[in-house]
Amino acid sequence: MKQSERLMPLKGAHLFSRAYRKGRSFSGGCMVLYVIPGRNASASLLGITVSRKRGNAVARNRVKRWIREAYRGFLPVLKKGKIIVIVAKQPAVTAGYAVLRDELEELLGKAALLDAQP
RNA sequence: ACACCGUUCCGAACAAUCGCGCUGCGAAUUUAUUCGUGUGAGGAAAGUCCGGGCUCCGCAGAGCAGGAUAGCAGAUAACGUCUGCCGAAGGCGACUUCAGGGCCAGUGCAACAGAAAGAAACCGCCGCGUCAAGCGGUAAGGAUGGAAAGGCGAGGCAAGAGCUCACCGGCAUGCAGGAGACUGCAUGGCCAUGUAAACCCUAUCCGGAGCAACACCCAACGAAGCAAUAGCUUGCUCGGCUGCUUCAGGAGUGGCAAAGAUUCGCAUGGCGACAUGCGAACAAGAUAGAUGAUUGUUGAUCACAGAACCCGGCUUACAGGAACGAUCAAAAA
RNA sequence: GCGGGCGUAGUUUAGUGGUAGAAUAUCAGCUUCCCAAGCUGACUGUGCGGGUCCGAUUCCCGUCGCCCGCU
């Protein structure tokens, strides 16, 4: 598998805070999307934030898995070289996978991160 | 049967496709990755309430202070845990619950009410006196209170009172039983309340910090302040140690993942917790943090909930289900 | 993950085991031509669940929530 098709996690608190400060944001009902240009042009990095106020450890992990799974589905058509941070909002805990996937598609479209189908 | 009590266990299952963490083995090559195979959260992983292992500071040596525990005996690495027994309370019962040592070592507190709260005369009763007042005796009765001078009955007395006696309760002494808590019996003077989850006393235990501990490697090898009248070592004192503190810089590896107070089975010892012996089994080890998506079938719309150095407990949360043992009542015998 | 601290009126806070107090806010009245200020009065309570005690904000235990520090 090529590097561009793997899910690259975002590391480092400074990158998160830069995304919050300088990134362009797109908000939906269940999540908020932040985007800034990244250093690595061959892949995009994904960071997911779920606050402790959203629920216990099990609920937070479930939301992160749903978002990661939905993001993985869009990897082949995603633009490279971006840093993307997704912050989950309270409705995401009870929304379910299908709702989150549809909303992620809408937000990625708004942010112009989707390439045309090859 | 229903119900109730105790102990133990499970806590959605299976298959297919795509995807994720780790790693033993095999293969491939671009020597770092890929492919195949294997494996991948809990009974509470939680709260962090106790106890240990482990690590460092140090040599914790002495005294004081402080903290914890509290029937007895045992189990254990240790414990505030567990087991058995004793006592008290609850239940028809199986059984359950209990911080369950000491206020005749001392000190304190007991608001309001009440005459009086650790020692007592307001009303009443009796005697003297008498127009009345007053003086003395008295805790049986009234009233207050959570608690009122051991309880209750009889004798006794001017009226009364453990003043005397029977029974019950409590205390002390003696004897007997028991490993002990304690139990039983006898005798004694009749015995001044409650509160130690108030201070305290008695007995036992406790050096401090915690894997963000700590070790190694790379980079840096700086700046400022204090400096024996200082700093560290536990709160203090003695004693001990020798630089100390702050700022800047701060990447990675180990610790840390398969093996130990482990789990299961059998045997022996013990009422039991548990111990000993033999045999077998055991790869979660992440580091922004791995278990998800889709489809099908079955019960059913699926509880509480996610490892972060590791164990033993406790406590709290929890849809529902299973096994074994025991109890009461009815019926039958 | 580890170590500490705190929960009292709507808000900010007092409170040796004995009726829980103050400021402010809110409401009503007085004052004023009206408003503000001032004066008077009312209203509102110990995070939750047990235990000890005659009696608990206080003492003890367990929970829930919030805050702080340590790479």
Nucleotides of B under 7 A from a protein CB: 19-20, 34-35, 41, 45, 287-294, 305-307
DSSP, collapsed to helix, strand or coil, labels residue A17 as: helix
Which protein residues have their Cβ less than 7 angstroms from some atom of strand B? A 1, 6-7, 9-13, 16, 47-49, 56-58, 61-62, 64-66, 68-69, 72, 97-98
- Interval A74-103 mean pLDDT: 84
The predicted structure's pLDDT at residue A4: 42
Domains of chain A by start residue, with CATH: 3-110 (3.30.230.10)
Residue pair A72/A35 in contact by the 8 Å Cβ criterion: no
What is the DSSP code string of A42-110? T--EEEEE--GGG--HHHHHHHHHHHHHHHHHHGGGBPSSEEEEEEE-TTHHHH-HHHHHHHHHHHHHH
Q: Given a cut of 70, is residue A48 above it in pLDDT?
A: yes
The mean pLDDT value of chain A amounts to: 79
Nucleotide nearest to A5 (CA to C1'): B19
Give this prediction's pTM: 0.80
d(CA A79, CA A61): 26
Residue A45 has pLDDT above 60, yes or no: yes
Q: What is the ipTM of this complex?
A: 0.80
